[in-house]
Every structure is written in structure tokens, then in C-alpha cells.
Structure 1
Amino acid sequence: MWIRPDWAAPVGAAVSTRHGPGVSEGPYARFNLGQRSGDDAAAVRTNRAALVSALGLPSEPRWLRQVHGTAVATDDLPDGQEPEADAAVASGPGRVLAILTADCLPVLFASADGQTVGAAHAGWRGLAAGVLERTVERMPADGLQAWLGPAIGAASYEVGEDVRAAFVDGDAGAADAFRGTRPGHWLCDLETLARRRLAAAGVGRVSGGRFDTFIDDRLYSYRRDGAKSGRFASLIWTR
């Protein structure tokens, strides 16, 4: 039902799967948490309430209106609002952050003392534009660690030259994350790109990865399922 990060961070963290305690039907079955995915809104609200209960979360998650950008939400907004942002950082007891994905890369962050947490939505656009770096800038530098959640794997993710250029034009070494398939097309390794950018930002402790949403039927995949795909959540919270 849950995927748990393989790290020793002093925080709570989990990734939902479609097999959780939800009520969504059809292509969204059954634990879709994406309010803007096309699913019945009442079903998603029920699923989100079940998420809080099943994980015993200390508070409601901070949901975001994700737009493939680099804005980082902080905890100075009233509860219940969904800011337009693709990352969030929070400090203090009982704060819960959530990232919704269905192929893009979710990245969770924890400070050494577990009192500050972060979460970022790193699709290729946000990753190339610096969403991970912007998140790191808002967090304590010493002892920061990151975990890479489930995303589409390199063997399943063919992209065009525009995606490759978005990374390689500013960093020639990023070419290692691409493998040619046919003229103008490449297999793209989001995990390798994220690790490279995190290392450049000074994050030396990075774990996770090794998932492929496209072939893992526990997880939603937009590329596999099309427009009627649900979203799973990657969550992190302070204790």
C-alpha cells in the first residue's frame, strides 16, 4: 500500500500507491489523490481524508497547484490554500508536505535534525529550470539529504531534442543521462539528471530512485494511461 524511503532521516515519509484505501473508480481506481486529474472531486476528497487517517498524519498535507515551474511555497500561508508552486519547505512540529505525480520525479528533503522538510515536483521542465536548486536554497545546508521517489524510468522515457538541449546546452556533462534511439529522439534518465543537479547544489546524501512508473502497475503513469490517469502522492512530515 505504501512505499517508504530507504533513508535514516528523522522524519516521517511515505509514497501512496493506487492500492490504498480509496474509492475512485474506472481508470482512477482506486486511490487517486489528484484533484485536477478528471476524477470525481468527491472521491478525491474522500481519498485524501483516508490518506490522513491511514498514515496517522499530524496535520493535513500542504497540497500545491503544480505548474512545472520553480516556485517554492513556504509555511507562511493560511491552511487550506493550495499555492501555485512546484516545491514547498516547512519547519516546526507536525508539518506535512505533499507532491503529486504520475511520471514526473518527486524529491523529498530532510534537514539533519528533522525539523525542516522539503518536497519538489521535478518533471523535466522544472528540473531543467532549477526547481531542486531553489528548494535547496530554502533549507539548512549542513547535513541535508534527499530521496528520489518513483518516476518514469530511463528505459521508458523517450524525449525529443528539445528536452535534451534544455539540459545539455548549459551542462555538457548532462549528456550522460541521454541515450539515442532514433534521429532526434533520446531515452532520458531523470534520476541521473536529478542526482547531478543535487550534487552541484551541495547535497551529498541522495538515496532512492530505481522505480519506473511506466511499468509498475502500483503507480499511476500519465504516459502509460493517458489523460485519464490518477496521481499518487509523495509525502514528508516533521514529527
Structure 2
Amino acid sequence: MKAMILAAGRGERLRPLTDTTPKPLLRAGGKPLVVWHLERLATAGWREVVINHAHLGEQIEAALGDGSAFGLRIDYSPEPAGALETAGGIAAALPLLGEQPFLVLNGDIWCDWDVARARRIACAPDQRRAHLVLVDNPPHHPGGDFRLNGESELVRPAVSSREDALTYAGIGIFWPEFFSGVAAGTKMKLRPLLDEGIANAVVTGERLHGHWVDVGTIARLGELNQQLGDAR
């Protein structure tokens, strides 16, 4: 099973830091955000990782190389200026990801979700084509994205009442055919595919009760840096 780290975003809300440094290379707790992911994946037994990039992508390749320093093999999926959005970026990387389910991690999050679970989810004998990790709504996204329907873990869009809504954590397991309708090179967000998959009952989910941070602003980056520093 392979993993993909999404690293193509511009990071507008993290400017001016991201004017000269790509978002995944911003440091927290003494190391770049993307390195936390790579080390966690390697510890859990991963050996092959794909990273997409656009803004300052050459810096990402220079910093991480072929992945051997982490016990991994890294393949890169370069995107044009402006990037391809999440679904478009994943679809463009499918030739590198192969024919089996794969794990996708946003490059600008920090979390303690057990990535080894991805393999168990991918091997489940069911009809799902995507599985999302959800978190309690953070202050900057109070309305959430989806909700879990009882213990069946069926993910449904949050509708008129959002009291039980949860936020997509930027962690998912996907089957290649989930992106079969996205032509390579197309710029496309992930949400339309998720809504369609939910309607067709091929998307499931689970709730993360651990530590998760969306490092989307300088303030949140500073908070995470302090938390990780205190933990050390």
C-alpha cells in the first residue's frame, strides 16, 4: 500500500512565510511538517510515498530527496502553477499510486492518527471506495463537513442541523476507481466526488479522538510549535 502527501497548496494564509518556503517545509517542534508524516509512515511500515507539489516544489524535492533518509522511496507528482486542487492532484498522481487503495494525508496537518489502520481499512471486504477520518469541528470551521450515521460509520453530508457535524481531517483512504471520472490534468476539488460517493453509499468514515491540528495560519503554526516543544 502506498501513501500520498498533498503538498501543492500555495498557503496564502501563511504568508509571508510561504512566499519563500513551501507550506509542508514549515517547521514545528524542530522539524518540517512533512517530515512528521514521513517518519510516522516509515515507523508504521510504509516504504513508498508519493508527494505532489506546485508552489516552490523544487524546494520540497531538494529537502526530501528520494526518501532514503527516512527509509522510504519518494516519487514526486509535479503540478502546474496554481496546482490542480485535491481531486485533480490525486488523479494526476494515479500512475504513481498503482491499482491498490492508498492513504492520502494533507501536508499541512499534524495528527496522531494511527496510520497503520489504513491497511486494515483497505483490506475490509466491502464496497467502499473511500474512507475519511473526521475530527471535532475546530474553531475556524465550526459548521463541519459531514456527519456519521450511528455505528454504521456511513458518512453523510451535514444538512440543516450541524450540531452533530464533523470536519474532514485531511486524512483518507481511497480506491483508484474513486477518481476514474477525473481526467488527468483537470483541476477539481474533492468535495463533489465525496458527495457523489456518499449518495452511492461507497464512502465511510471514522472519528479521530486524538490530537489534530490544521496548520493553516501563522498563529496555529506557532501554537503547534509550542505544543510539540513542550511535549519534548
Common fold: TM-score over 0.5: no
TM-score by length of 2: 0.36
TM-score by length of 1: 0.35
